[in-house]
Amino acid sequence: MKLADFKVLTFDCYGTLIDWETGIHNGLQALVAKARIATSRDQVLELFAQHESAQEDETPSMPYSQLLSVVYKRLAKMWSVAVTSEEANTFGASVPDWPEFSDSVDALKYLKQHYKLVILSNVDRISFRASNVRLQVVFDGVYTAQDIESYKPNTRNFEYMLRRIKNEFDLEKAAVLHTAQSLFHDHAPANQLGLASAWIDRRHAANGWGATKPPPATPKYDFRFDSMAALVRAHREELRG
């Protein structure tokens, strides 16, 4: 199997192209300070992952910006901190502030020359629009949890994506490579559907799972790269033969 075998790269955005862990950590600093607790960055991210996933299960049709506000309040309650709705909503509206990874823009510009590029994201459309400006590329398709009314790792999100790709580009699943950081949100459900995947292991130098829950088992993947830049290098090497 080669990268050049595929015609569509489908992306998780947050964690893969956008540095959501930095964005989340920065957005929660005021709450952590108010709680006056000694906790590491990864501990904060792991708590966020637990509450985010639980809230997504409870309210699958809630837009992500609103869901983030609820998660903020859940964390505040856990830490016995009083917060206002304004504070929670500020965190909910923070996605546009989350930075892109340093290699994302150049990688996407290169890959756009060789593939159709599609986003499958758990965020809402308005939040993604701001991130799309950061990424500086026109995606061929953008499918969000807001459109589907469920959150990854639900396989219906991937089924929706594959239907849209078939209807809009007349391409089958075999032409699609799902490209993502999260084993929990992306690679595990891709395995269930027999969808090829490339793991962008952004946390290769860190321990633990960060802002995502651990996967229920060890998912398989067809490619693994430490970064988007490494994926681009591998593609260029393939073309050189």
Domains in the chain, ordered, with CATH?
Answer: 3-19+99-240 (3.40.50.1000), 21-97 (1.10.150.750)
Confidence category of residue 241, pLDDT binned at 50, 70, 90: confident
Phi and psi at residue 18, in whole multiples of 5°?
-110, 135
- Which residues neighbour 158 within 8 Å (Cβ) at sequence distance 6 or greater? 120, 152, 178, 189, 190, 193, 195
0.85 exceeded by the pTM?
yes
Q: Using one digit for the tens of pLDDT, what is the confidence trace for 15-56?
A: 999 999 999 999 999 999 998 887 899 999 999 999 999 999
Q: Using one digit for the tens of pLDDT, what is the confidence trace for 53-99?
A: 999 999 999 999 999 999 999 999 999 999 999 999 999 999 999 99
105 pLDDT higher than 90 = yes
Residues 121, 104: Cα–Cα separation, whole Å: 16
Reference 98, options 151, 30, 48, 26; nearest CA is: 26
- Asked about 57 being catalytic, the answer comes back as no
Q: Are 215 and 185 in contact (CB under 8 A)?
A: no
- Which residues neighbour 54 within 8 Å (Cβ) at sequence distance 6 or greater? 74
Annotated catalytic residue, options 12, 19, 124, 222:
12
Name the average pLDDT for the chain.
96
The residue to which tokens 């609103």 are assigned: 66
